[in-house]
Amino acid sequence: MTEEKSKKQFVEDLTDQSDDFSRWYTEVVRKAQLADYSPVRGCMVIRPYGYGLWEHMQRLLDARIKATGHQNAYFPMLIPESLLQLEADHVEGFAPQCAWVTEGGSEKLEERFAIRPTSEAIIGHMYSRWIESYRDLPVLINQWSNAMRWEKVTRLFLRTAEFLWQEGHTAHASARECQEEVLRMLEVYRDFVETDLAIPVHGGPKSEAERFAGAEMTYSIEALMRDGKALQAGTSHNLGQHFAKVFDITFQDEQGKRQHVHQTSWGVSTRLIGAVVMTHGDDQGLRLPPHIAPVQAVVVPIWRKDEDRAAVTQFVGRVKEAVGERARLWVDDRDQYTPGWKYNEHEMRGVPVRLEIGPRDVANRAVMSVRRDNRAKEAIPIADLATRLPVLLEEVQRALFQSALAFREANTGYANSIEEIEAHFASKRGFVAVPWENDPALETLIKERTGATLRCVPIDQAPFEARSQGRRVALFARAY
Amino acid sequence: MTEEKSKKQFVEDLTDQSDDFSRWYTEVVRKAQLADYSPVRGCMVIRPYGYGLWEHMQRLLDARIKATGHQNAYFPMLIPESLLQLEADHVEGFAPQCAWVTEGGSEKLEERFAIRPTSEAIIGHMYSRWIESYRDLPVLINQWSNAMRWEKVTRLFLRTAEFLWQEGHTAHASARECQEEVLRMLEVYRDFVETDLAIPVHGGPKSEAERFAGAEMTYSIEALMRDGKALQAGTSHNLGQHFAKVFDITFQDEQGKRQHVHQTSWGVSTRLIGAVVMTHGDDQGLRLPPHIAPVQAVVVPIWRKDEDRAAVTQFVGRVKEAVGERARLWVDDRDQYTPGWKYNEHEMRGVPVRLEIGPRDVANRAVMSVRRDNRAKEAIPIADLATRLPVLLEEVQRALFQSALAFREANTGYANSIEEIEAHFASKRGFVAVPWENDPALETLIKERTGATLRCVPIDQAPFEARSQGRRVALFARAY
């Protein structure tokens, strides 16, 4: 296969975003080997390249979760139906989505167990046994685990029956501390998603209609995908005393009085991988933010004549040594593929930087770097590589964020009436900022007329002030 | 509560190992807050201190798994019954232990799904789709996940319905490469368990009777607990072509011929936490190996008079600064507990080194270190702390291994006949080395008469040579 032909085929194979975004998404997820379908309805396989993304996300977020004083623990994945039923809103919201274990060993069980759709119930039960005094508070626990919701319509990463996530569950002595925790974790998510995933988000409270089943208040961070649909990227819930009252989670305060705790829960999931794909990807495939890219720079050695091979190979060795632990480098020295085939594959897989090394580069004591995000080329002398490559990767990271931010700004409209909102969604997508004073009837009307839902009321209103004339806005969008 | 009274109570609370080892085990696991019972039959909650142990185990083992060329991935936790049934031995071994999902959403499912008891079936199915050519081999994939076996009798960490583990699944072009992988991973486990958990193990093949359901050959590493019972600490299976044939996992070899792959699988689980507790623990509680201890050194500040407090607190700050990232340090400055109470709690929780800092220590510019394993005290000048503490922790690590090794040697007997084996187990426990030439009838007889099973035929026979007169031995023991 010639280089030119392979290049053409590889690109032709991928549907253009503008032709069919949804098809583009599924194709790129499978061609880049992030994930695959499985024989279990609605469940996917996360392949090594996709799981590598998740491992880096976990590492970076886990450090933030621990830095804010939380510890990890692990609770059973099965929840007795009787526990799930204690909180009325919670069971109403989740029971219809549960997968149920009814047989164990070779026997029919006396009570059904739900595979956790979320763990408030089982954790609430344990907290009621562990918490006795104000000295036991706050309890700051996080869990990394799988969870399952028997969704009717599924899509790789975005909505799968089984997903991987982290769920934080905390208990506090006062409503004030509890609310501080809710906002602290929302800010942890915002910082993580913007800094490491290069995805700009708006964070703030959701409306009552969009609230987590059993929560007093739900906050979310909301991102905008390249097809103009919004995606909820993380949530932080103030559970108030709802679960504490039904699970009897009480403590003796400093005055010796028994009180119910105040609780939070917060989570992000493998859905974030879908958000990365749909925020940064283009018609050639993925564009991965360097902070989480399993391979940050791929080295492609090039020679035509056999006599060049030894010199190139030796120089590649020096490049590896020069970079050391400063970047996650992979040398693609597979013999069966041409350089051109490799270029296309690594573009499809979104490797942030490619380093080409041919005989001329060896002669120049330099490598030719090519950025995935904007294809900018730069010859980097090997003497500078150790300092230049990490900086270059940070430049790619920032450029991806800026590009996503510009896209979001270009796709944020303003509307003052239901007519203006309808007019917007008749021709456009993206966010619409609407002056907001908690009007559930208007929210319902907007949803009925346009399919858009209230994503959140941004805590940071600064981006809207120039257009909102001092009025607080809520963001509406069609959403995943 | 006075210091003396609290100390006495804390120790009295824990059953002696010699009185009732099993009760000691459960008490120490719960008092040290490693784990707790849950409302789900046979499932436990891994509390933050226990999960911290698991996180360090994961980190250390995962690095070894990656260094040997493996990548992590994630497969669905549900396995369709029809897939599980394809390999006859496999389904016969595991189906009776499965928890079954029969309802999803609000509907009865057409086919039952097993929560994975192990993942050969679902992974075999995916490999048959991914592997086409010899160029796709070897496939070297590992998964960190939960798994479930509906055990009749359960015990915290050692045997629980749900457990956490890693399971490696590899596919190779030849039987030779496959067998090399089986032994490579057995060696990775041996090195990890001996180096990081300080638990000496014997590794080698098991007998046909003890083989994994569906494997051609099972290898294990076997440890000896302080009550003289053996514990299987990890397994590595040569699956041969059993699964390849039923799942149709084939590749085109270099000559263009279609062949079945050769497969391995290998795993260790949260059971290792139980092994750490039962190998190193004593009548005062846990003794944790520093490599995996969540807290490697605890600082206990001591003052009687309020005027000492400021000086002690300031000195503690300098100690923290001096240690930096060289050890996982925790300053236990809780006001509500006396130093004596803290000593006992940290002994119970097995913190490897305690650093006492009182006014006299401040005056001497030193801290008083106390080892958990042998209570040896040593004044360490603060100027030396940064270099001395890491060395001291390594000394504790090695001493725990040596102590466990000496215990194992003292509890290994030799026997040449069924009578001698019976005589051994009539009065003693531990391992018995028996000259071995694969005699299944003798193996059955030994099990019937003594309850001991063949643990493995050690690959390294050197420890037995002095007594075995050149004959290869197998190890028998009663086991968890």
* B6 in a structural domain: no
| Predicted local distance difference test score (pLDDT) of residue A13 | 82
- Inspect the interface and report whether the beta carbons of A80 and B39 lie closer than 8 Å: yes
| Predicted local distance difference test score (pLDDT) of residue B152 | 87
Stretch B188-205: mean pLDDT? 98
**Inter-CA distances, B353 with B31, B327, B349, Å:** 19, 11, 11
- CATH of residue A39's domain is 3.30.930.10
* B285 in a structural domain: no
The DSSP symbol for A145 reads E
Instruction: List the single residue in B77, B150, B162 with the smallest CB-CB distance to A105.
Output: B150
A39 and A153 housed in the same domain:
yes
For B37, residues 6+ apart whose C-beta sits below 8 A from its C-beta are B44, B45, B156
Can you give the C-alpha Rg of chain B in angstroms? 25
Number of domains in chain A: 3
What part of A 172-191 touches B (C-beta under 8 Å)? none
Q: How far apart are CA A181 and CA A170, in angstroms?
A: 8
| Burial class of residue B138 (count of CB atoms within 10 Å of its CB; 0-12, 13-18, 19+) | buried
Question: Which chain B residue has its CA at the smallest distance from A96's CA?
Answer: B105
Is the per-residue pLDDT at B333 higher than 90?
A: yes
- CATH of residue B366's domain is 3.40.50.800
Any idea which residue has 């006492």 for tokens? B356
CB A361 within 8 A of CB A367: yes
- Is beta strand B258-260 parallel, antiparallel or unpaired with respect to B250-252? antiparallel
Instruction: Give the amino acid at B314.
Output: Q
- CATH of residue A434's domain is 3.30.110.30
* B205 in a structural domain: yes
A369 and A421 housed in the same domain:
no
- pLDDT tens for each residue of chain A, 480 residues long: 344 444 445 555 899 999 999 999 999 999 999 999 999 989 999 999 999 999 999 999 999 999 999 999 999 999 999 999 998 898 999 999 999 999 998 899 999 999 999 999 999 999 999 999 999 999 999 999 999 999 889 999 999 999 999 999 999 999 999 999 999 999 999 999 999 999 999 999 999 999 999 999 999 999 999 999 999 999 999 999 999 999 999 999 999 999 999 999 999 999 999 999 999 999 999 999 999 999 999 999 999 888 899 999 999 999 999 999 999 999 999 998 999 999 999 999 999 999 999 999 999 999 999 999 999 999 999 999 999 999 999 999 999 999 999 999 999 999 999 999 999 999 999 999 999 999 999 999 999 999 999 999 999 999 999 998 889 999 999 999
pLDDT band at B12 (very low <50, low <70, confident <90, very high): low
CB A297 within 8 A of CB A361: no
Shortest CA gap A55–chain B (Å):
9
Q: pLDDT tens, B355-398?
A: 999 999 999 999 999 999 999 999 999 999 999 999 999 999 99
- Is the predicted ipTM greater than 0.85, yes or no? yes
What part of B 325-384 touches A (C-beta under 8 Å)? 336
Q: How far apart are CA B358 and CA B149, in angstroms?
A: 51
* B3 in a structural domain: no
| Predicted local distance difference test score (pLDDT) of residue A152 | 87
* B406 in a structural domain: no
pLDDT band at B402 (very low <50, low <70, confident <90, very high): very high
Please report, to the nearest 10 degrees, the dihedral formed by the alpha carbons of residues B125, B129, B132, B134 taken in order.
-40
Stretch B427-439: mean pLDDT? 95
Q: In DSSP terms, which residues pair with A142 in a beta bridge?
A: A72, A168
Residues of B within 8 A of A125 (CB-CB) are: 38-39
Instruction: List the single residue in B54, B76, B150 with the smallest CB-CB distance to A162.
Output: B76
A189 and A304 housed in the same domain:
no
Q: pLDDT tens, B245-264?
A: 999 999 999 999 999 999 99
Residue B124 CB: number of other CB atoms within 10 A?
27
B63 and B189 housed in the same domain:
yes
Is the per-residue pLDDT at B6 higher than 80?
A: no
B75 and B194 housed in the same domain:
yes
For B2, residues 6+ apart whose C-beta sits below 8 A from its C-beta are B338
Q: In DSSP terms, which residues pair with A476 in a beta bridge?
A: A432, A454
pLDDT band at B2 (very low <50, low <70, confident <90, very high): very low
A319 and A275 housed in the same domain:
no
B87 and B218 housed in the same domain:
yes
Question: Which chain B residue has its CA at the smallest distance from A83's CA?
Answer: B39
B450 and B357 housed in the same domain:
no
The DSSP symbol for A472 reads -
Question: Which chain B residue has its CA at the smallest distance from A152's CA?
Answer: B105
Percent of chain B with pLDDT over 90: 92
Nearest to A150, CA basis, from A95, A228, A110, A83:
A95
Any idea which residue has 């609230």 for tokens? A211
- Inspect the interface and report whether the beta carbons of B48 and A72 lie closer than 8 Å: yes
Shortest CA gap B334–chain A (Å):
10
The DSSP symbol for B136 reads G
- CA B409 to chain CA mean position, Å: 20
Return the biggest CA–CA distance within chain B.
Answer: 85
- Inspect the interface and report whether the beta carbons of B101 and A99 lie closer than 8 Å: yes
Instruction: List the single residue in B36, B101, B164 with the smallest CB-CB distance to A101.
Output: B101
Angle at which helix B3-13 crosses helix B339-348, to 10 degrees, equals 20
Most A CBs within 10 Å, among B30, B44, B51, B65, to test the A interface:
B51
Residues of B within 8 A of A51 (CB-CB) are: 71-74
| Predicted local distance difference test score (pLDDT) of residue B13 | 82
| Predicted local distance difference test score (pLDDT) of residue B3 | 43
In the sheet with B453-456, reading across from the earlier edge strand, the strands are B412-414, B431-435, B473-477, B453-456
- The whole domain housing A454 covers 412-477
* B178 in a structural domain: yes
* A5 in a structural domain: no
